[in-house]
Homo-oligomer: A and B are copies of this chain.
């Protein structure tokens, strides 16, 4: 026969599924010797049996309950039904997962017209006893019988007015007795029955009410929202009441075993003398910090400290404890893992590791990606944000919170930032021309483009908050207005951006700034030691890479050389190059650009030291470097001394219908080989410079958008010749490797052949996903959200690897490549290289390293450490 009742000494924390969180923890505290008020838990199994029997109490439970009460009466030497020492009970729901929305607590259960008098007498405190009783009728009436609270509140207010009492606490014992009579009338009128005078009947009804609350609408919604199963059921914990308001040797409080904001090793909490929990909530008296208890009750405080220390060691985590002191007697009413900030979480874990409380494996297991994300980025002040409503919600493209003033162009953003104005840059979409303005901004919002649009990729790279594809916004860059559903913002208006949720708020909101703590850095070192494959960073500048080194990146997996051409003087030369009609003109521009490139690469190499650096040769279509606005075009024509008509024609010729699949990547270099020649020569020159400084650099040169063997062979041969020129001139040796991006489906399909020529592969998962799905990353924001909503896609493939499609193709490519060249180094440098689920998958299919934007390096490391752990556990 099923045992539906567990006394606290029969339970333990592992029985959470049966006893609920509260019940299991109470049992556990009892088990390890902590003082908890006597009690037992009706199991979740009983709840499920109740629903299986169409909401009828299981007979077993019905039979067992009086026996359990009898045992409780013995343990407490009180009587639920009797003439002395009334046993008052608290009845609380408790499911496996903490779940707001269900019925919570009924206090003082067991009181009746008769026992309230005994209690008044025995405590010599009639006011206390009658207050307990009227609260019971109110709670029971509302929670169990569904009577509107307002009816009780109205009666209370009427009485206070009538008797001219300002506050509840001003009510006398007589007032309360009168109120009890009124409450009982309300109860009878509303339910057609009298308030039950049988404590056991009260209990039975309360348990049923807790069960029923499992399926109330709020609970259902909550479970849907959090993907929790409906068939878990709730437990009911029944426990002797204890009271912190029985004089100056009584008290009640809540306490964290460590500081939940910082993780520092200090008791952190507050308490009220001679008070009950609700007094704390009412806020009439100011609670005292825990340290004061040491002075007031030194010996009890010593016991308390020792016991909560025991709890923390036992639970291996910071605890959030509720306690009551009844006449000098300490009781623990609840313990649970305490909520904390991300910084605190990381500090705690590292401290626990130091203290030997946790192993490294346990730290990794316990650490969540959200912890890392939150630790890396500013967040809004929690209290401030909760009351606010966003005016729009877009894609959470780059995490972090920001508050600032609105600007609509890169130029305006830069100008404002120079005056120390915090800038939020709003654009329909961004382009490489906007880079300087993006760098100057606190956050970027766009009305078009998806999670891998230019804005999103660049923002993530810089760790700047970004919300993309906010389709409900009408951003007019000329008029400098941002229309949203019910309003408008103009230049200079304050707004706030939450890049982690995609929410936009039309006001200034205080921030809690992120700081990379020493604990965070130590954590990165711990993670690095526990991953099988390495994590590199995508970094276009030495500054980017220095940031990534803070996170223990093992090298650079992707330098996008095109980003080096956007400062004004370089951009002009780049444009001269693009618009040149003869090879000679082209050479002039390239000669101007080469020293810049050499300097860029030297800075990167110097920062990287002996770490590997992969440099991708020019990738985007040329028109990305050209001005789109007429005024700029005219200016350019003047600067380059060419006719505006010729410029217009050239621009038209460079225009493409689908630039993503157009004349870009290696295709450009097949048409204009001099560009790549300049780039590899700059790489080699800077490597030789570093060599002269005593630093050995082994550049990894990467060719983008390879689609055929002949293309790769031709280009490799060409680059080798260009490199040999420099080496011969300098009379030096240099070790370097030449590899290819794998970003076209065809490259995957012929990977075995490409591997004969390539020293390494690096998967560009963005482009590969675009091609495999035929989803343009710039346009898919228009329909992808609907796909995700209708569950027509398992995941957003730009955010998490699509194993069936893209992943399968990658695996096929890796197998073929390794069959040809077993030692070939294989990396992933696309957007997914920093996404936890994807990274774990990449490791599984044989990737040697992943590379991602600096701020994603910690996530990737954690993912790999978790995966390594899992593999070890499985193997």
Interface residues of A (CB under 8 A from B): 474, 649, 656-663, 667, 670-671, 705, 707-708, 710-711, 714, 743-746, 749-750, 753, 767, 770-776, 778-780, 782-783, 786-787, 790-794, 802, 804-806, 808-809
Contacts and interface: CB of A to CB of B under 8 A. Distances in A.
11 contacts: A660-B774, A662-B782, A670-B792, A707-B774, A708-B793, A708-B794, A710-B791, A710-B793, A711-B792, A745-B771, A750-B805
Contacts of A773: 661, 707, 744, 746
Contacts of A745: 745, 771-772, 774, 805, 809
A670 B809 contact: no
Contacts of A753: 804
B775 A661 contact: yes
A661 B649 CA distance: 27
A74 B301 CA distance: 139
A621 to B, nearest CB: 9
Contacts of A649: 474
A828 to B, nearest CB: 18
Contacts of A749: 772, 804-805, 808-809
Contacts of A802: 746
Contacts of A657: 659-660, 776, 778-779
Given A658-B660, A661-B770, 9 more contacts: A656-B776, A663-B782, A708-B792, A711-B792, A745-B745, A745-B774, A746-B773, A746-B802, A749-B804
> How many monomers of this chain does the complex have?
2
Contacts of A667: 783, 787
Contacts of A746: 772-774, 802, 804-806
Residue among A743, A746, A790 with the highest chain B CB neighbour number at 10 A: A746
A775 B746 CA distance: 11
A268 B547 CA distance: 87
Contacts of A714: 790, 792
A302 to B, nearest CB: 62
A101 B787 CA distance: 65
Contacts of A671: 783, 786
B658 A659 contact: yes
A647 to B, nearest CB: 14
Nearest to A793: B708
A392 to B, nearest CB: 16
A707 B784 CA distance: 12
Contact of A787 (B658, B670, B808): B670
A813 to B, nearest CB: 12
A744 B802 CA distance: 14
Contacts of A774: 660-661, 705, 707, 743-746, 767, 771
A401 to B, nearest CB: 29
From A658, A707, A776, A802, name the one whose CB has the most chain B CB atoms within 10 angstroms: A658
A34 B498 CA distance: 97
A711 B662 CA distance: 28
A338 to B, nearest CB: 41
A791 B786 CA distance: 44
Nearest to A658: B776
A658 B805 contact: no
Nearest to A656: B779
Contacts of A791: 710
Contacts of A743: 774
